[in-house]
Structure 1
Amino acid sequence: MALNYHQLHIFYTVAEKGSFSAAAQALHMTQPAVTMQIQSLEDYFGTKLLVRSTKRIELSEAGRALMPYAERGIDLMRETESAMARFTHMLEGRLQLGASLTIGEYVLPRLLGPFGQQYPHINIVLKVMNTAEILEQILHHQLSFGLVEAAVQHPDMVMEPVMQDELKLIVPAEHPLTQQGEVYLREVLDYPFVLREKGSGTRQVMEEELTRLQVDLDLVKTVMDLGSTGAVKSAVEAGFGITMLSPSSVKHEVALGLLKVIDIKDAAFRRNFYSIHLKSTLLPISAVTFLDFLRAQKLPL
C-alpha cells in the first residue's frame, strides 16, 4: 500500500475533531469508512497513531509526530489547487456560497457576469445573510464557503483575505462639504451621522479607525442607527445626515447625482473582505477558481 493524501486528510480531521463520528460528518463519509482508512494508515506505518478512549480520541506519540506533516500536506494541496486553477477553463458544477450584505448586494453582482463569461458551466448559488448566519451554515455543511466583511475567529475555520475595500464619506449631493475636493476629519465630525447598526462590519471598521486616531467615539453625532445599507442611503439622500460606506454600494446613487463620495485627507477606513471555510474540508476546484478570480479584481475606491 502507498501513502496517500486522502488518508492524511482523514487522519488530520479525526485528530482535530477528537472523534471518528465528528470527522465522518465533516468529511461526508460513513464512520466505518473513516475507521478503515485510519487502520490502513496505521498498518502502513506499523504503529498506532490514535489512542481510543471512551470520551475522546487522542494522538499517540507517533500521531503527534505525524500531525504537522499532515497539516503541511493539506496546505500544500490547497496551494496546488490555487496555482492550477487559472489554467482550468472547463469547470462544471454548482457552487453554493454565502456573502454578507455589502459583498452580496453591491460587490458580487457586478463580478458574477464576467466570471460567468469566463466559466459558463459553473452555476453559482449566492445566499446573502449576516456573518453569524454564514458561519452557522458552513459549520452545518449547508454552504461550501462564505465571504464576509470583518475577521471571524473560530477554531474550525480557515479565514483568508480576498479583496480590499475602503469606506468613504457619503453625503447628499447638495451638502456643504461637496464644495471641497477633500476634507479633514475634524470638519466631518461637525455634522450629524446616519450609520449602520453597531456590530455591523461597516460600523466596526469606522469605529476601529477613529479609535486608532484617538478620536472619542462620543464626538460622532449619530442621529440614526439603521439595519441595512439601503436604509442608510435613503436617510442620507433625504438629508438626515452623512455616513461612511463603501463606494461600491453607492455607484447607482452617485451616477444619478443623488449622493457624493468625498475623501477624508487625514484618515483611511480600509478593510479586507475575507473568505471563510471549514479547516476539515478542502474547497472544490471551482471555489478555488472563483476566489482567485475575486483576488484579481479591484474595487472602485
Structure 2
Amino acid sequence: MALNFHQLHIFYTVAEKGSFSHAAQALHMTQPAVTMQVQSLEEYFGTKLFLRSTKRVELTEAGRTLLPYAKQSIELIKETGIRMSRFTHMLEDRLHLGASLTVGEYILPRLLGPFSSEYPNISVSMKVINTKQILDEVLAHQLTFGLVEAEVHHPDVHTEAVLSDELKLIVPRNHPLAGKESVTVEEMLHYPFVLREQGSGTRTVMEEELERAGYDRDALKIVMELGSTGAVKSAVEAGLGISILSQSSVKHESALGVIQVKDVEGVSFGRSFHAIYLNSTLLPISAVTFLTFLREKDLSQWL
C-alpha cells in the first residue's frame, strides 16, 4: 500500500475535530469510510495514530509526530493549486459560488466577463443570496465557497479578504449638498437617510465608522429602510433621502447625473469583500483559479 494525500487529509481533519463523526461531517463522508482510511494509514505506518474513547479521540505519540507533516502536505497542495492555476486556460470545469447582494449584483458581473475571456473553458454558476445564507450553504457543502461583504467568524470556515471597496455618500442631483465638493458629517446628519436594513454589510460598515469617528448612530435621521441596494438608489434618486452606498453600485446613476457621489470629511467607509470556504475543503482548481484572478489582477480597470 502506498501513502496518499487523501489519507493524510482525513487524518488531519480527525485530529483537528477530535472526533471521527465530526470529521466525517466536515469531509462530507460516512463515518465508516473515515475510520477505514485512518486504519489504512495506521497499517501503513505499523502503529496506532489515535487513542479512541467514547467521547473523544486523542493523538498517540506517533500521531502527534505525523500531525505537522500532514498539515504541511495540505498547505503544499493548496499552494500548488494556486501556483498552477495560471496555467489552467484549457481546463474544462464548472465554478459554482455564492455571492452576497452587493458583490453579486454590482462587483462580480464586471469581473466575470474578463475572467471568462481569460479562462473560456470554465463555466460559472453564481447564486446571489445574503451572507448568512451563504455561510449556511458552505457549512452544508451546498456551496464550494462564497464571496461576502464582511468577515465571517466561524471555527470551521476560512475567511480571506480578496477585494477592496469604499462606500460614499450619495445624494439626488437637486439636493442642497449636490453642489459641494465634500461634505462634513455634521452637514450630512441634517438630512433624512434612506438605508439598507439592519444587519446588512453596507449599513454595518457605515455605522461602525461613524461610531469610530465619535458620532452616535442614533443621530442619523432614518426615514426608510430597504432590503436592496437597488431600492435604496431608486429612493435617493426620487429625492426621499440621502444614503451611504458602495461607490461601485452607483457608477451608472452617477454617469447619468441622477445621483451625486460625495466624500465625507474625516471618515473613510472602506471595507473588504471576503472569500469564505470550509477549512477542511480543498478547493477545486476552478475555484483556486478564480480566487487567484481576484488576488493578482488589477481589478480597477473593470470596476
- TM-score range normalised by the length of the shorter chain: over 0.9
Q: What residue in structure 2 maps to residue 252 of structure 1?
A: 252
Q: CA deviation at 1:263?
A: 1.4
Is 1:298–2:280 an aligned residue pair? no
Query: For residue 107 of structure 2, what is the aligned residue in structure 1?
Result: 107
Kept in 1: contact 2:182–2:262 (CA 8 A): yes
Runs of 4+ in 1 over 4 A off after TM superposition: none
Quote how far apart the aligned CAs of 1:27 are: 2.8
RMSD: 1.9
- Paired with 1:254 and 1:238, the residues of 2 have a C-alpha distance of 14
Contact 1:10 1:23 in 2 (8 A): yes
Counterpart in 2 of 1:73? 73
**What are structure 2's unaligned runs of at least 5 residues?**
none
Distance 1:233 1:80, change over 3 A: same
Contact 2:88–2:119 (CA under 8 A) maintained in structure 1: no
TM-score for the superposition, normalised by structure 1: 0.93
Segment drifting more, 145-154 vs 33-42: 33-42
Letter in 1 for 2:74: I
Give the structure 1 partner of residue 131 of structure 2. Answer: 131
Which has the larger displacement, 198-207 or 250-259?
250-259
Match of 2:233 in 1: 233
- Distance in 2 (alpha carbons) for counterparts of 1:96 and 1:68: 31
Please give the secondary structure, in 2, of the residue aligned with 1:163: strand
Q: Give the structure 2 partner of residue 24 of structure 1.
A: 24
Q: What's the counterpart of residue 197 of structure 2?
A: 197
Work out whether residues 116 and 122 of structure 2, in 8 Å CA contact, stay in contact via their aligned partners in 1.
yes
SS at 2:273 equivalent: strand
Q: Aligned residue for 2:186?
A: 186
Residue aligning to 2:211: 211
Partner of 1:176: 176
TM-superposition CA deviations, 1:15-74 (whole Å, max 9, x none): 233333443343344444422321232233333211222233332333234333322332
Which residue identity lines up with residue 136 of structure 1 in the other structure? D
Structure 2 residue matching 1:162: 3-state secondary structure: strand
Which stretch shifts more, 96-105 or 29-38? 29-38
Percentage of identical aligned residues = 68
Distance 1:185 1:86 in 2: 45
Per-residue Cα deviation, 1:73-122 (whole angstroms, up to 9, x for no partner)? 32232122112211221121111111000001111111111111111111
Following the alignment from structure 1 to structure 2, what is the Cα–Cα distance between the partners of residues 171 and 197? 19
Please list every run of 5 or more consecutive structure 1 residues that lacks an aligned counterpart in the other structure: none
What is the correspondence of 1:35-54 to structure 2 with a 5 Å cutoff? Answer: 35-54=35-54
Question: What residue is the counterpart of 1:284 in the other structure?
Answer: 284
Output one character per residue of 1:127-172: Cα deviation in whole Å (capped at 9) or x when no partner: 0101111111111111100000001100100111110001011111
Question: Hey, what's the Cα distance between the residues in 2 that align with 1:174 and 1:131?
Answer: 35
